[in-house]
DNA sequence: CCAAATTATCACCGGGTGGTTACATTCAAT
DNA sequence: ATTGAATGTAACCACCCGGTGATAATTTGG
């Protein structure tokens, strides 16, 4: 039996007397908890236990629980920014605005579907506002507006005269995709649409594309590859 | 001093030996808790305390906690049905499809905004599925599909040839309005749109109306009052 | 080599949770 | 009136929560 106690379930190396390392462990343990067990499992005791560290250190290093959440929010914020940066770049060919927004729908959906952390954070943002959710809201606002601006530019290219409230459009679109993606976890069908199949999401993306692509312009120019 | 003890904070009449009355008290206490303090405040102890009754009766009358939730779900389900029935009836003049859907947007938004119970239930549905959320999901599915069918009929009247996936459209619309309404509670701005002002919601409803009303038909008929 | 500062742990506190058992009261049928 | 089921209460259990003071272990500097 080793003389050092190892009560944490997944401690890894004991990390002897390294403050920076301990702080990292606490932050990453919090993120892991949010991802794997949801926001209502996030607490002083669970975090300290997951990190394999005494909970007193949370108070010593981050002041209080909010302090730790603030640090975690910064961490998740940059994660989200990187994730979105990759997504934005992909959808910028010279396609129809409808095609672009349909692809954006699919990208948003996969992002939420494949990332358990995002899902739990989105739910958390709806149910309360603390240091973490407040910081993340700002981060997401920045990302969403960047996407919107890019689409606005593309729309201006394709239809110079068109005046469409792209901010409101993207707000409703991303909000709807967020909600449907979250709901898909527990409830497969929403308003007759199968949220757990690609077919259902093709319907969602398709109806937005249909609405955007039909425009009363004198150009019947539709070249679909 | 009455001989009967009255430890509950809001008990009303002591309700001596009346099982039906006690069951009603428990159900309504649960609804009151969901509305006023959110789903994470709903528990055996809080419910019994709010009802001014011993928590043992929950187990005796409803079997277990899930049993009580099932009874509560039925109660809320009929509430929601009645609420929606009133809303649907109002929006069915001979307006443009875009006008109808814009009004539907506003109606949905007010419904969520003005009803704290609905808000908390919507959030609950996203975060977990228990007996209550499962039953409510079915109820909502029924209501939403009825609204959709009504709109489909109206669209068919106005544009007989039009083929639009109205189910998918309404799914995305109500999902988006739900999410934005929930989010408005804690975070006033989403993607540049002010969710706490009527102006912001006019933008949301307006962009959907714009998309729906412009249709490549030979009718330039736009009569805005 | 020894003391001071840092780092980390342990044991505990008051309070709350869901759930159960033992007991008391009321009421209705015999 | 007595019996016995229905109704209700109080006390208790083991567990978890956020938070704190005392204490031990390690590193660092003289």
User: pLDDT of chain A along its 225 residues, tens only?
Assistant: 333 333 334 434 444 678 899 999 999 999 999 999 999 999 999 999 999 999 999 999 999 999 999 999 999 998 888 887 776 666 555 688 999 999 999 999 999 999 999 999 999 999 988 888 989 999 999 999 999 999 999 999 888 888 899 999 999 999 999 999 999 999 999 999 999 999 999 999 999 999 998 875 544 444 444
Same domain, residue pair A40 and A107: no
Angle CA B139–B142–B143, to nearest 5: 90
User: Per the domain annotation, does A225 fall within a domain?
Assistant: no
Same domain, residue pair A179 and A208: yes
User: Per the domain annotation, does B19 fall within a domain?
Assistant: yes
Segment B47-51 shows an average pLDDT of: 94
* Structure confidence at residue B161 (pLDDT): 85
User: Per the domain annotation, does A154 fall within a domain?
Assistant: yes
Same domain, residue pair B35 and B134: no
User: Per the domain annotation, does B52 fall within a domain?
Assistant: yes
* Structure confidence at residue A85 (pLDDT): 75
Same domain, residue pair B29 and B140: no
Answer whether residue B45 shows pLDDT above 80. yes
How close does chain A come to B206, measured CA to CA in Å?
8
List, as ranges, residues 164-223 from A with C-beta within 8 Å of B.
164-165, 167-180, 182-183, 186-187, 189-193, 200, 203-204, 206-208, 210-212, 214-216
Question: A218: part of which helix (H) or strand (E)?
Answer: none
Same domain, residue pair B202 and B101: yes
Segment B48-73 shows an average pLDDT of: 93
* Structure confidence at residue A7 (pLDDT): 37
Cβ burial of A223 (10 Å; 0-12, 13-18, 19+) is: exposed
> pLDDT class for B219, splitting at 50, 70, 90?
very low
- The pLDDT tens digits for B125-168 are 999 888 889 899 999 999 999 999 999 999 998 998 888 999 99
Tokens of A110: 């996969």
Same domain, residue pair A139 and A162: yes
* Structure confidence at residue A94 (pLDDT): 66
Give me the CA B54–C1' D10 separation in Å, rounded. Answer: 10
Any bridge partners for residue B190, and if so which? B193
Phi, psi of A89 (to 5 degrees): -60, -35
Q: Which residue has the higher pLDDT, A45 or B94?
A: A45
- The pLDDT tens digits for B104-115 are 999 999 999 999
Mean pLDDT check: name the lowest of A112-126, B51-65, B93-107. Answer: B93-107
Q: What total number of domains does chain A contain?
A: 2
* Structure confidence at residue A171 (pLDDT): 98
At A220, is the secondary structure helix, strand, or coil? coil
Same domain, residue pair A83 and A58: no
Same domain, residue pair B87 and B137: yes
Same domain, residue pair B141 and B84: yes
Same domain, residue pair B80 and B50: no
User: Per the domain annotation, does A71 fall within a domain?
Assistant: no
Same domain, residue pair A26 and A53: yes
User: Per the domain annotation, does B29 fall within a domain?
Assistant: yes
The CATH number of the domain holding residue B41 is 1.10.10.60
DSSP for chain B, written as a single string: --SS---STT--S--TT-HHHHHHHHHHHHHHHHHHH-GGG--HHHHHHHHTS-THHHHHHHSSHHHHHHHHHHHHHHHHHHHHHHHHHHS-SS--HHHHHHHHHHHHHHHHHH-HHHHHHHHHHHH---HHHHHHHHHHHHHHHHHHHHHHHHHHHH-TT----HHHHHHHHHHHHHHHHHHHHH-SEETTEETTSHHHHHHHHHHHHHHHH--SSS-------
Q: Do B175 and A171 touch (CB under 8 A)?
A: no
Answer whether residue B13 shows pLDDT above 90. no
Q: Do A170 and B191 touch (CB under 8 A)?
A: yes
List, as ranges, residues 31-60 from B with C-beta within 8 Å of A.
38, 40
What is the domain range of residue A209? Answer: 76-213
* Structure confidence at residue A42 (pLDDT): 95
Q: What is the mean pLDDT of chain B?
A: 86
Same domain, residue pair A131 and A49: no
Q: What are the distances in angstroms from CA A32 to CA A36, A123, A136? A: 6, 16, 17
User: Per the domain annotation, does B220 fall within a domain?
Assistant: no
Tokens of B139: 């109820």
């Amino acid at each position: 039996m080793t003389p050092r106690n190892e009560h944490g379930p997944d401690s890894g190396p004991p990390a002897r007397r390294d403050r920076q390392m301990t702080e990292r462990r606490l932050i990453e343990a919090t993120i892991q908890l949010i991802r794997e067990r949801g926001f209502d499992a996030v607490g002083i005791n669970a975090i300290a236990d997951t990190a394999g560290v005494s909970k007193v250190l949370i108070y010593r290093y981050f002041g209080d629980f909010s302090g730790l959440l603030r640090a975690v929010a910064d961490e998740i914020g940059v994660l989200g920014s990187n994730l979105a940066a990759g997504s934005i770049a992909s959808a910028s060919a010279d396609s129809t605005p409808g095609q672009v927004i349909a692809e954006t729908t699919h990208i948003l959906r996969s992002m939420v579907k494949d990332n358990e952390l995002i899902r739990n954070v989105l739910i958390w943002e709806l149910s309360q506002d603390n240091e973490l959710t407040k910081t993340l809201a700002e981060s997401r606002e920045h990302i969403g507006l960047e996407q919107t601006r890019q689409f606005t530019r593309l729309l201006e290219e394709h239809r110079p005269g068109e005046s469409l409230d792209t901010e409101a459009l993207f707000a409703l679109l991303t909000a709807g995709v967020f909600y449907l993606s979250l709901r898909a976890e527990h409830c497969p069908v929403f308003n007759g649409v199968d949220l757990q199949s690609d077919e259902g999401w093709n319907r969602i993306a398709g109806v937005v594309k249909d609405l955007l692509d039909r425009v009363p312009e004198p150009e019947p120019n539709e070249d679909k590859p």
